[in-house]
Amino acid sequence: MPVAEPSGPSIQARQEGAQRSLCGWGRVSRSQARVIRPRRAEEVVDVLTASTGVIARGAGRSYGDAAQNDGGDVLDMTALNRVIAIDPERESITAQAGATIAQMMTSLAPDKLTLPVVPGTRHVTLAGAIASDIHGKNHHRDGGLARHVSALSLCTPRGECLEISPESDPELFYATLGGMGLTGVVVQATLRAERLPAPWVLANTDRTDNLEQTLALMSGEEHNRYSVAWLDLLADDWQLGRAVLSRADPWPDGVKPPSRRTRATYPRTLSRRPTLEVPHGCPAALLRPSGMRALNALRWRTAPHRERERPLALAPYFFPLDVLGAWNRLYGPRGFIQYQFVLPSGQEAVLEQCVRLMRLRRLPVYLAVLKRLGPRFGGPLSFPLEGWTLAADLPAAAPGLTAALDELDELVAGCGGRVYLTKDARLRPETMDVMYPELDRFHAQRAKVDPGGVLRSDLARRLRLCDNGR
């Protein structure tokens, strides 16, 4: 569908940019950069060919320092946010880099379509999702985003805007999926969509008493499409790792949903503002281990011991934290770290060891989520491996946090696991080299599209990713 280019300030004015202080969603590792907001792919190419150091940024939802570039340039891609086309017959959607998950799902809804993979928030942009190779509650069945992207428009520092696909250039394509924005700037992409009979899921809930029960329940054959467990890592030792496990399937085709109004209100739900918003200046004292321990106990006690096929609306099931705006401010001005790692199947003993180490080091894990991931697929920096992934939210000011996470890194790397770069703000480069053993493939693609090392970020400098392996 033809769409007129947006009008606005001149190209020169938009490229002059302004100095800004940037950080990730965790509000740690803040740095200064010149922020430029292009509105056309040509402007992106102009910046890439003129800059000595630049990285793209979307909605700022990566937790660490992946979308910032201290002392350099940052391309704010949120003005390139149009949904270009939807093909109901081929079940696909084409959108610009800055279109969010919510925008795309809203645009697909009238054709009774949806996205096959979504992260835990609807505010992530398309290009950010590609750079992170996002995965959801259904990775064990459907894989990550890399399985569902069919084409990319990628601008590079060589002045090119390449149209690539898994067929035309598989090495560059998959290096970009999960490549943290370091192989080029995605300006447009086409994804496969899927049918949406109704914006509901049928959910099953099980409650466990400790980590041993949790792993035993989740280790069996998984019949449901979606699966995720909330873990209590502040409970007493004998209840450590007790969980509320939620498993669900899409609403069955041909079955009447609980409410006729839901189909009409579903798009508005996706674009609705948060019910509450955490104000600026929120003191860190609001979150304390004693209070969070009590809240966790309440959440566990009030969950059903066993419940089957409960209808749940789709949006709150996928995006539970989006009801609270700016919830990252709850951790106070020093922010928080989300430590997410994956361990290969068969390494359950190491997973238990990681949890015990968190307890031994007295880490205040305020939120913990455990999922199973399916077979590995994608490029050299794609995170998922077949096995277990645990995401733990920790206040950045917690005593001994850095040393404890270094210990956890050793356990994770030692059994073939890895840390999720999109969530990372502190991994060491020597550990990165062990966790991601195919870095040579990644550097080979960077050398082709960015021989001068123009694409760089705080994360890339920290992990030695922006010098093409030199």
Predicted local distance difference test score (pLDDT) of residue 413 = 98
Tell me whether residue 19 is in a domain. no
Instruction: Say which range, 15-19, 223-227, 445-449, has the weakest mean pLDDT.
Output: 15-19
CATH number (domain holding residue 116): 3.30.465.10
Predicted local distance difference test score (pLDDT) of residue 261 = 67
Tell me whether residue 346 is in a domain. yes
Tell me whether residue 45 is in a domain. no
Predicted local distance difference test score (pLDDT) of residue 375 = 96
Handedness of CA 304, 120, 177, 394 (dihedral sign): negative
Quick one: pLDDT band at residue 427, thresholds 50, 70, 90? very high
* Shared-domain flag, residues 192 and 206: no
Domain end call among 196, 219, 236: 196
* Shared-domain flag, residues 184 and 251: no
Domain end call among 147, 175, 196: 196
Q: Which residue has the tokens 């040393």?
A: 403
Answer whether 194's CB lies under 8 Å from 105's CB: no
* Residue 3 scores a pLDDT above 60: no
Q: Which residue has the tokens 């096929």?
A: 309
Per-residue pLDDT of 154-193, as tens digits, reads 999 999 999 999 999 999 999 999 999 999 999 999 999 9
Domain end call among 162, 196, 230: 196
326: tokens are 């700016």
380: tokens are 């050299």
Tell me whether residue 50 is in a domain. no
More confident residue, 319 or 221: 319
What value, to the nearest 5°, has the Cα angle with vertex 129 and ends 128 and 131? 60
Summary mean pLDDT of the chain: 94
Predicted local distance difference test score (pLDDT) of residue 12 = 53
Tell me whether residue 88 is in a domain. yes
Residue 202, CB half-sphere, CA atoms under 13 Å: how many?
14
Handedness of CA 76, 79, 84, 88 (dihedral sign): positive
Q: What percent of the chain has pLDDT over 70?
A: 96
* Shared-domain flag, residues 95 and 164: yes
Collapsing DSSP to helix, strand or coil, 161 comes out as strand
10 Å CB burial of residue 110 (0-12, 13-18, 19+) is exposed
Per-residue pLDDT of 234-258, as tens digits, reads 999 999 999 999 999 999 998 888 8
* Residue 10 scores a pLDDT above 90: no
Q: Can you tell me the mean pLDDT for 72-99?
A: 98
Predicted local distance difference test score (pLDDT) of residue 15 = 58
* Residue 1 scores a pLDDT above 50: no
Q: Which residue has the tokens 């740095």?
A: 31
Predicted local distance difference test score (pLDDT) of residue 263 = 72
Per-residue pLDDT of 215-234, as tens digits, reads 999 998 899 999 999 999 99
Per-residue pLDDT of 37-53, as tens digits, reads 999 999 999 999 999 99
Quick one: pLDDT band at residue 259, thresholds 50, 70, 90? confident
Collapsing DSSP to helix, strand or coil, 455 comes out as strand
Q: What percent of the chain has pLDDT over 90?
A: 88
Alpha carbon of residue 294 to chain centroid? 28
* Shared-domain flag, residues 187 and 238: no
Answer whether 252's CB lies under 8 Å from 202's CB: yes
Query: What distance, in Å, lies between the first and last C-alpha atoms of the chain?
Result: 45
Predicted local distance difference test score (pLDDT) of residue 228 = 98
Q: How far, in Å, CA of 33 to CA of 19, rounded?
A: 5
237: tokens are 């030792």
Q: Can you tell me the mean pLDDT for 265-289?
A: 87
Answer whether 211's CB lies under 8 Å from 203's CB: no
* Shared-domain flag, residues 214 and 351: yes
* Shared-domain flag, residues 152 and 291: no
* Shared-domain flag, residues 247 and 371: yes
Tell me whether residue 382 is in a domain. yes
* Shared-domain flag, residues 191 and 91: yes
Predicted local distance difference test score (pLDDT) of residue 5 = 42
Count how many domains the chain has.
2
* Shared-domain flag, residues 174 and 223: no
Domain range for 296: 200-256+284-432
* Shared-domain flag, residues 297 and 405: yes
Handedness of CA 284, 288, 293, 294 (dihedral sign): negative
Tell me whether residue 470 is in a domain. no
* Shared-domain flag, residues 173 and 312: no
* Shared-domain flag, residues 341 and 422: yes
Question: H/E element holding 307?
Answer: strand 306-313
140: tokens are 């064990």
Per-residue pLDDT of 336-369, as tens digits, reads 999 999 999 999 999 999 999 999 999 999 999 9
CATH number (domain holding residue 316): 3.40.462.20
Measuring CA to CA, which residue among 237, 246, 232, 228 is closest to residue 389? 228
Tell me whether residue 42 is in a domain. no
* Residue 468 scores a pLDDT above 90: no
Predicted local distance difference test score (pLDDT) of residue 400 = 97
